Structure 1
Amino acid sequence: MTGVGHGGAAGPGAVTTRFSDRLRVTRPWPRELRPYVHSYDGYRVDATTSYRVRLVPTGRAVVVINLGEPFAQVFRLKETGPAVRVVGSLVAGLEDGPRVCDHPGGQEAIRLELTPLGAYRLFALPMRELTNGVFELRDVLGPGADELVERMSATRDWTQRFDLLDAALLTRLDRGPDPSPEVAHAWRLLTRSAGTTPVARVAAEVGWSHAHLVRRFTHQVGLTPKTTARVLRFHRSVELLSRGGTDLRQLAAACGFYDQAHLNREFRALADITPAGLANARRVEGAHEL
């Protein structure tokens, strides 16, 4: 990487906001990307001290274009294997459990959250190959990813950085595979109900057997329909918790859990933390600071 992070001008069309030691830069992404991209912004962390964050399942794939210091290591909680060391930009597939990231500080990056079917089309890979994994960007997008990151890092202007990334994404979008209409419909049924629609009803509505739905859905989304529903219920509860003042019994009922005990078990299983613990954690760039 030829450049290693700049202060950067926002440029026309980009909006810069400062939060304490963090700078965030946003702008609307192109209309053609809107069905596939959930969030999209640049940021810079000025503090050079190391920190640790907890990543919890969201039902989205993540791309981080590193323009400064890389992540130090990423590892899944409750697993005994070695941590994944990431030395550049990364792609993270859908998760069904918590992950921890140690970072040395001083990061500058652009972070995208993609819908699973958007990631399937942009990456042109079976999404199950990325599930619960973190990969170097070049290993997913090919050697041209390094050149893209170098060009983005070499300019100080955030709008130019966004323009370069948009052009690369739109090119891949034009060449990527189309998700099957049945999988796309199944995904809509699950997301619109925040995971409360029974999988049997989803299969009946798309006209597939349960086994065929599981096979095709997992190929294009990365998680089974049942696990996706579980993650979506959890994610909705996290979003409601972040608004504050929510009674946990009411939260459990609103998000499709049997009771508060069921809610607590799901938080332990999917995030390795209690609802109160997650609600009190400071959110930083799609993660929860530890």
Structure 2
Amino acid sequence: MKRNIYILSLIAILLLFVSPDLIAQRMGHGGGGGRGGGGMNRSSINGGSFQSRDRPSSSNMSGSSYKSNSNINRNNASSSYNKGNYNNASNSYNKGNYNKSNINNNNINSNNRNYNNVNVNNVNVNRNVTVNAHYSSGYYNGYHGYHPYYYHPYTPYHYGAYWHPVGFFMAAMVTTAVMVSVANQSYYYNQGVYYTQVSGGYTVVPAPVNVTVVSLPNDMVAVKNNDVTYYYFGGTFYTKSSKGYTVVVAPIGAIVSTIPEGATEQEIDGQKYVVYNNTYFQPFLQNGQNMYQIVAMD
């Protein structure tokens, strides 16, 4: 009996020296099977084996390190998305589709301007002028009406270095020029070309009707039209008198083979005419040669 009491007393004394923290730790381990199971899951995620003493370390890796990696991956994904896919997509849209659309639109507009407003081959469509029916039924050199229309491209005839088209400007007048006048207006005349004085020099003008000059260049040609002989040079017709050559209005029905530089083509009622100084030349073919006949317009 005394021995049993002695043993119980010894056990009680030993229990007093046991650390409460150790008891709590051991009891926590024993009663936290579910939490221990949780530790195993986290260890398994991190790739380690189940060890209860490593739980705090596993917890740190799962909590801090994992979250840090998650942030890094998330940032990288955002950065890759923003800089790579999103920006590139935006750049592709702006530089590819948007700019190409502008280029295509510009081309379409440019084509519209070229075909609708800008003249192709210097041809203007003139809807304000029509062929005069009265003159078109007349007789010219015994031929009834105008010669049949036959289009051939306008090719300017070049007389030489001495000849200049209307609008040409030069700073000094040539010494061979002579002064002529008509209707109280003075002109400088030189080899079939007429000039007026302007600020800083001289400019070429159309031959004034009724002005008379002493001579014409050797390139002039005689044109007969209804028993009247005209002299043609540089798009201008003259009649000859004792005083020289007088500029006249271009005779309707007259036929020439050349038109000088400075003329334009105009389309009227589907046919193309060459216009020079308000004179209309209709192209046609005569004995296989390209010719022009002067026609009247309204």
Q: So what's the TM-score if we normalise by structure 2? A: 0.20
Look at both structures and tell me which one has the larger radius of gyration over its CA atoms.
2
Q: So what's the TM-score if we normalise by structure 1? A: 0.20
Greater strand share, structure number: 2
